[in-house]
Amino acid sequence: MVLIGFQANAQTAKEIMQRVDEKVRGTSNSSEMKMTIVRPDWKREITMKGWSLGTEYSLILITGPARDKGQAFLKRDNEMWNWQPSIDRVVKLPPSMMLQSWMGSDFTNDDLVKESSIVNDYNHSLEQDSVINGTTVYKVVLTPKPDAPVVWGKVVCYVDKKEYNQLLVKYYDEDDYLVNTMVLSEIKEMGGRRIPTRLEMIPADNPRQRTVIEYQNQEFNIGLKESFFSMQNMKRVR
Amino acid sequence: MKKRVLILIGVIFSYASFAQESDERKVTFKGYLKNMGSFNYFNDELWVEDLTHNRLNFAWYPDEHFSVFVEFRNRLFLGDFVSDIPNYHKIIDSNNDYFDLSANLINSKSALLNVMADRVYVQWNKNDWEVKLGRQRINWGVNLAWNPNDWFNAYSFFDFDYEERPGSDALRISKYTGVASSIEVAAKMAEDMDRFVGAAMWRINKWNYDMQFLAGLAQGDLALGTGWAGNLGKAGFKGEASYFIPVTETAVNQSYDGLFLGAISVDYSFPNTLYLNGSVLYNSVAELNPSFGFSFVGARPGNFTVRNISNYRWSSFMQSSYQFTPLFSGGLSVIVYPGSNAFFVNPALTVSLKQNFDLDVVGQLFFDEDPLNGDYGSVSQSGFVRLKWSF
């Protein structure tokens, strides 16, 4: 009885994350976003367009700032390339690059190209419901599977029970210290779905700094095929 | 005549970009303006130069299959090199190209203004095919520091201020045979075998490795090459090699019967942004300890080929870079030539002053035995301060 109850519970937690994942990603999607790195006395902006299919394939085109405009990043399974049009060169990036900061921000490359999956790379457990800004939320604890390509020791997601949107995500290291907090807000209709359009990543050791991602446009289930994520297309997308 | 052609191309493209500003997908325009002060100490003398460097990149996309790219590099030199080095204007105005699209618009005792178009090409795409005709960069190299597979338009690692690197007047036809595989055939226009390069490359992706195989005729040599980019655990592992066998004597191949150039590199980046790159280059015909080993530095833009990327038999490169803050990063590259006492140290700092404004401070220090008197020490020390506005 205890065993069955535990399994049903674990199943539910995973199902919640599956619904969350499906909602923000669809089978395939495209987006336009602005990333702002905020520090107490300065700001820097990066704008980009992105396309993805599952967690296996993604393509990102940098549209600003001027210095980096035109550069593109392609990820297929666990391989990643960077196209530098000014020198006509595709550079294969080492796997260690995945956990590095994305262009100086508080997000990692993995956050952007989503190599790890909140569904497949973690074991899930459900804790007691919580309340965020008056909204009742599921509290789901994600513990990475042994070989998962993630740096975290634990990730705690707070998910709106009605709309299945993540509202708050806390990232812990292997010693259980809080490293980053992500706050998701500005829930709007975009691409036919009501989703958070503003993501704010705040490092725990320096709460005065943050990186904000604002989505200007998103579309879901747009029928992208695996063949879209090619070297040829990385050089051609605009 | 040449000046008029250059100005005409510029006018047409500026007009096109203003006329179509509302339709930003048809014409794009970007570039930068840099000013660099360089302080060079050699032969017991300090040489100071100020270089204002402007780049204008135009792209025109008339329809989904065609695109046209024209890019200008405009440089104004002031200072001791202009006034004291005889023929400095010729060195600046020389290039490897079939069409002479470079002109010195001002050439006086105190100032030199050079304007050149280093990319002028049309591109046609359809399905898996891509054709590029005109002055373009054909970049078949894989490594960061040394590229033995860069048969068409080699560049010197020391010429750090030319990020885009030279192009070639060429025809290139590519067929993409898969998501990460292709066949490319390219030929560079030339009046004689001294400069002609024609080659094909087959690129595949297997076992998480990009692999490439090259063959062709390069400046009188039968050339064969291969390269790869993959991983060793979490580290990147890349390499490339070329073998040149003279079939016709040309200006570049008189000193060897066969020349092997090979380079491998390993790179790793830590989550804290520390990036490390290590590489070794082998040149089978170079001496272990050549005198005037560094003499090629920047002195031969007109006939630099892949065979000259290092004058030493063994060259080893180590680079580390670290981002102190998102605005401030630093790097240190060191090149050591095993078998000789020569080495090169290259510290660099980059500061983002504002959005689109960067400041770089770069040092280039060469150490070797003085070829004239045998004294060991720094043969040349250069410092550069560069401000860059990107638009």
Query: What are B181's two structure tokens?
Result: 């595989």
Instruction: State residue B10 phi and psi, 5-degree precision.
Output: -60, -45
Q: What residues of chain B lie within 8 A of the CB of A65, using their CB?
A: 355-356, 390
Q: What residues of chain A lie within 8 A of the CB of B267, using their CB?
A: 94
pTM of the model: 0.89
Q: What residues of chain A lie within 8 A of the CB of B229, using their CB?
A: 91-92
Query: What are A225's two structure tokens?
Result: 């095929």
Min Cα–Cα distance to chain B from A128, Å: 33
HSE value, Cβ hemisphere, 13 Å, CA-based, for B249: 3
Q: How much is the pLDDT for B300?
A: 53
Look at residue A14 and tell me whether its pLDDT is greater than 60. Answer: yes
**B32, B231, B352 member nearest A95 (Cβ):** B231
CA distances from B83 to A228, B87, B109, B140 (A): 55, 10, 5, 38
Which of A165, A164, A123 has the alpha carbon at shortest distance from A144?
A: A123
How far is Cα A219 from Cα A72, in angstroms, rounded to an integer? 20
Q: How much is the pLDDT for B302?
A: 57
Angle ∠(B384,B385,B386) on CA atoms, nearest 5 = 115
Min Cα–Cα distance to chain B from A62, Å: 14
Min Cα–Cα distance to chain B from A76, Å: 9
CB contact under 8 A, B269 and A100: yes
pLDDT band at A147 (very low <50, low <70, confident <90, very high): confident
One-letter amino acid for residue B365 of the chain: L
ipTM confidence score: 0.89
CB contact under 8 A, A100 and B128: no
Q: How much is the pLDDT for A102?
A: 81
* Burial letters A219-232, b for 16+ CB under 10 A, else e: bbeeebeeebbbbb
How far is Cα A38 from Cα A33, in angstroms, rounded to an integer? 16
Please spell the DSSP secondary structure of A127-182, one letter per residue: EEEEEETTEEEEEEEEEE-TT-S---SEEEEEEETTT--EEEEEEE-TTS-EEEEE
Look at residue B303 and tell me whether its pLDDT is greater than 80. Answer: no
- Domain layout of chain B by residue ranges: 2-390
CB contact under 8 A, B137 and A66: no
CB contact under 8 A, A92 and B210: yes
Which of B384, B318, B391 has the alpha carbon at shortest distance from B350?
A: B384
**B137, B179, B273 member nearest A76 (Cβ):** B179
**A91, A97, A226 member nearest B269 (Cβ):** A97
For chain A, list residues whose CB is within 8 angstroms of any CB belonging to chain B: 37, 39, 42-45, 65-67, 69-70, 76, 78-79, 81, 86-89, 91-97, 99-101, 104-105, 108, 151, 226-227, 229-232, 236, 238
- What is the chain A residue with the closest CA to B130? A232
**B61, B268, B323 member nearest A94 (Cβ):** B268
| Residue B346 and residue B144 in contact, taking contact as beta carbons nearer than 8 Å | no
Which of A224, A232, A227 has the alpha carbon at shortest distance from A50?
A: A224
What mean pLDDT comes out for the span A7-28?
A: 82
pLDDT band at A150 (very low <50, low <70, confident <90, very high): confident
CB contact under 8 A, B182 and A232: yes
| Residue B134 and residue B120 in contact, taking contact as beta carbons nearer than 8 Å | yes
Q: What residues of chain A lie within 8 A of the CB of B205, using their CB?
A: 79
How far is Cα B302 from Cα B281, in angstroms, rounded to an integer? 23
Tens of pLDDT along B255-284?
Answer: 999 999 999 999 999 888 899 999 999 999
Alpha helix segments (H runs only) across chain B: 2-19, 80-84, 88-93
Please state, for a pLDDT cut of 70, what percent of chain A lies above it.
Answer: 95
- Domain layout of chain A by residue ranges: 2-236
pLDDT band at A143 (very low <50, low <70, confident <90, very high): very high
Instruction: State residue A231 phi and psi, 5-degree precision.
Output: -60, -40
pLDDT band at B334 (very low <50, low <70, confident <90, very high): very high
Which of A151, A146, A154, A150 has the alpha carbon at shortest distance from A172?
A: A154
Please state, for a pLDDT cut of 90, what percent of chain A lies above it.
Answer: 73
One-letter amino acid for residue B68 of the chain: V
**A87, A97, A105 member nearest B165 (Cβ):** A87
Min Cα–Cα distance to chain B from A139, Å: 28
Residues 6+ apart with CB under 8 A from B236: A92, A93, A94, A95, A96, A97, B229, B230, B265, B266, B267, B268
Q: In the CATH scheme, what architecture does the domain A2-236 have?
A: Clam (2.50)
CB contact under 8 A, A88 and B139: yes
Cis amide prior to A65 (ω within 30 degrees): yes
Q: What is the mean pLDDT of chain B?
A: 90
Q: Rounded to an integer, what is the distance from CA B376 to the centroid of its chain?
A: 30
Tens of pLDDT along A99-124?
Answer: 778 877 888 888 877 767 889 899 99
pLDDT band at B153 (very low <50, low <70, confident <90, very high): confident
CA distances from B84 to B74, B111, B215, B296, B382 (A): 22, 11, 44, 19, 17
Look at residue B291 and tell me whether its pLDDT is greater than 80. Answer: no
Residue found by looking up tokens 């404004």 in the block: B357
Q: What is the CATH number of domain B2-390?
A: 2.40.160.10
| Residue B39 and residue B46 in contact, taking contact as beta carbons nearer than 8 Å | yes
Cα dihedral A111→A113→A119→A121 (10° resolution) = -80
Q: How much is the pLDDT for B157?
A: 84
Q: What residues of chain A lie within 8 A of the CB of B179, using their CB?
A: 76, 226-227, 229-232
What mean pLDDT comes out for the span A192-211?
A: 93
Which of B297, B310, B313, B309 has the alpha carbon at shortest distance from B365?
A: B297
Look at residue B158 and tell me whether its pLDDT is greater than 90. Answer: no
**B139, B271, B390 member nearest A87 (Cβ):** B139
CB contact under 8 A, B179 and A231: yes
Q: What residues of chain B lie within 8 A of the CB of A109, using their CB?
A: none
